[in-house]
Amino acid sequence: MEAKPRLLTVLDYITAALFLIAVGLVFLYAPLEAVMGNVQRVFYFHVAAGWVGMLSFLVAAIAGVAYLLRGNRKWDTVGLSAVEIGIVFAFINIVTGSIWARPIWNTWWTWDPRLTTATVMELIYIAYLMLRQGIEDPDRRARFGAVYAIVGFLSVPLTFYSARLFRTIHPVVIGTNDPNAQGQFNMTPKMLQTFMFSLLTFTFIFADLLWHRIRVGRLSEKVEQVRLKTLQ
């Protein structure tokens, strides 16, 4: 059996440390937002989780292309791992978005572009897993997964764009002059630092989880191989 790579253990420690620091920054370092109060702190994790959700999709799509072109099963494992992580973080994104929305806009849900796109992404992820689950042949399963990841990934920007042609009440934090956008706030330097650090932390979390999950995938394939050998 493969031993756990040293680098992975180091990554684990770094990620854990980053996370602790990030939490500290969010609750202690970042200033209290004037209008929204403490609930605004959710923002740091909300956006970071959304970022990881999108990053996962990108990785899954790239892995899909790589699998179709090369036929190497390891790309299939990468794609599946990315989707599984994406499902979790997209969900965190949606839930934290809801938590943030309730006190501010007095509603648990709005059909604005970003939230809509996040939900659609989550649904595509789930559909991906359901597709895989229904296919017996492992090679076909990998091929179909790759194709759907690519198709899904390409549809997301179009969904976002089409949802954005509708009006939005989602806070557009990163600079816009849209007068209809309510709930805006400007970020002070301390907030910006906390924000960037959260993004960094979550990226590390993504990489760490992805590596672990790929390892699990490879090990389970090894187990399957050994099992088949003993049967024959």
219 binds other proteins (CB under 8 A): no
Tokens of 212: 């672990």
91 binds other proteins (CB under 8 A): no
**Where in 182-201 is the site for other proteins (CB under 8 A)?**
none
Three-class secondary structure of residue 179 per DSSP: coil
**Which of 34, 165, 175, 230 is close enough to bind other proteins by CB under 8 A?**
165
Euclidean distance between CA atoms 9 and 16, whole angstroms: 11
Which x/- pattern over 45-84 shows residues binding other proteins (rule: CB under 8 A)? -----------------------x----------------
Three-class secondary structure of residue 33 per DSSP: strand
Euclidean distance between CA atoms 65 and 147, whole angstroms: 8
**Which of 66, 99, 120, 173 is close enough to bind other proteins by CB under 8 A?**
120
Least Å distance, CB 117 to other proteins, is 9
159 binds other proteins (CB under 8 A): yes
Q: Which backbone phi and psi does 37 adopt, to 5 degrees? A: 80, -155
Cβ closest to other proteins, residue 127 vs residue 196 = 127
Three-class secondary structure of residue 37 per DSSP: strand
Segments in the chain forming alpha helices (H): 6-24, 42-70, 73-105, 113-133, 138-165, 189-231
Binding site for other proteins (CB under 8 A): 68, 120, 123-124, 126-127, 130-131, 133-135, 137-140, 143-144, 146-148, 150-152, 154-155, 158-159, 161-163, 165-166, 221, 224-225, 228
